[in-house]
């Protein structure tokens, strides 16, 4: 049998965005991002496997922590707004990141906070302020079905 053709589909980098439900003035669209755009990374295991004498017992986690990293343009006022937000309150609540393709769902983090802001070098060669957010991602929703 021949290898069947599969259209891999397009990516649209300007589709990427980060939405802060409680603070819409902090929403980040692609025009405010550096070339690195935004990145999300899950931390830890979605399921712990506890070893036994002859196998494992699975213990699903109800949530995992996740980190969103965004390259904000320092040359735009939004970067300064984020710094001011950190000075006022670093607690953001729900934050949703939208990917670069409609084929992949948006990911919402709960109890999100500003973890770090790195303004970068002021040498005229790098316009990016690194913004790091961290929150919890609900996992294994079937755990809450007690029937």
Supply the pLDDT for residue 118. Answer: 98
Average confidence score pLDDT of the chain:
96
Tell me: the pLDDT tens digits for 85-126?
999 999 999 999 999 999 999 999 999 999 999 999 999 999
Token reading at 91? 């607690």
Tell me: the pLDDT tens digits for 16-33?
999 999 999 999 999 999
Cβ atoms of 70 and 96 closer than 8 Å:
no
- Confidence category of residue 3, pLDDT binned at 50, 70, 90: confident
pTM recorded for the entire structure: 0.92
Measured at the alpha carbon of residue 142, what is the angle toward residues 140 and 144, in degrees to the nearest 5? 105
Cβ atoms of 108 and 102 closer than 8 Å:
no
- Confidence category of residue 146, pLDDT binned at 50, 70, 90: confident
Supply the pLDDT for residue 1. Answer: 73
Q: CA 107, CA 96: separation in Å to the nearest integer?
A: 5
The answer on pLDDT for 128 being more than 80 is yes
What domains can be seen in the chain, in order of their start residue? 13-46+57-144 (2.30.110)
Q: CA 49, CA 8: separation in Å to the nearest integer?
A: 34
Supply the pLDDT for residue 2. Answer: 81
User: Which are the contacts of 130, defined by CB distance < 8 A and separation ≥ 6?
Assistant: 69, 70, 71, 72, 116, 117, 118, 120
């Amino acid at each position: 049998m021949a290898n069947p053709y599969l259209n891999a589909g397009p990516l649209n980098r300007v589709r990427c965005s980060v939405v802060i439900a409680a603070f819409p003035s902090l929403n980040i669209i692609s025009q405010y991002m550096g070339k690195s755009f935004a990145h999300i990374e899950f931390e830890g295991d979605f399921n712990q496997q506890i070893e036994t004498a002859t196998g494992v017992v699975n213990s699903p986690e109800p949530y995992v922590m996740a980190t969103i990293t965004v390259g904000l343009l320092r040359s735009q006022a939004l970067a300064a707004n984020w710094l001011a937000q950190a000075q006022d309150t670093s607690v953001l609540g729900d934050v949703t990141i939208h990917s670069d393709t409609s084929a992949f769902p948006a990911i919402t983090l709960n109890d999100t906070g500003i973890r770090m802001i790195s303004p970068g070098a002021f040498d005229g060669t790098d316009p990016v302020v690194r913004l790091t957010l961290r929150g919890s991602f609900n996992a294994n929703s079937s755990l809450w079905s007690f029937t």
